[in-house]
Amino acid sequence: MFGKSIMTASLILLSAVANALPAQNYSEESEFLRGLRLYRTGVYSGARSVFENISDKDPRAEGYAILCAIKTKASGYQNLVRDYTLKHAGSAMSGLLYFNTGLSLFDEMKYSEAAAAFSRVKRSSLSKEDAYELLYKTGYCYF
């Protein structure tokens, strides 16, 4: 009898705690992870579609949707980058967006524009390999 009352009390307490926690939409998180898998495998159009479906609820998804736009050289991607960085000032994603913008412009041989994009990137926001690429390509732009 005593064991049943402890179990019942535990279930009631667990239920109360679960109801008190902020609700999270796990389907949005799983969609984000699905988009991330597509992005990491180079399926940028598909990833962009997934990220755009949840971007109004998740700034990370909005940033990744813009990264996909950069990777596919979608029309107006530079405006998307600018708008994102204004809306989410100080976001860690901003450096990645400007770095990828610079890479895209560099590949198009628009070196002065690439240098301007690279100048907005903090090396500390990049991986070691990307930081080296940033330094090399920035120098090349000024050559």
**Per residue of the chain (143 residues), what is the pLDDT tens digit?**
444 554 444 334 334 333 433 344 557 788 999 999 999 999 999 999 999 999 988 899 999 999 999 999 999 999 999 999 999 988 889 999 999 999 999 999 999 999 999 999 999 989 999 999 999 999 999 98
Q: Which amino acid is at 46?
A: G
Q: What is the amino acid identity at position 50?
A: V
Find the DSSP H helices in 21-76. 26-40, 44-54, 59-71
Contact 107, 84 (CB under 8 A): no
Q: Look at the alpha carbons of 118, 87, 48, 92 in this order and tell me if their dihedral is positive or negative.
A: positive
What pTM did the predictor assign? 0.78
Name the H helices within 1-143.
2-20, 26-40, 44-54, 59-71, 77-87, 92-107, 111-118, 128-142
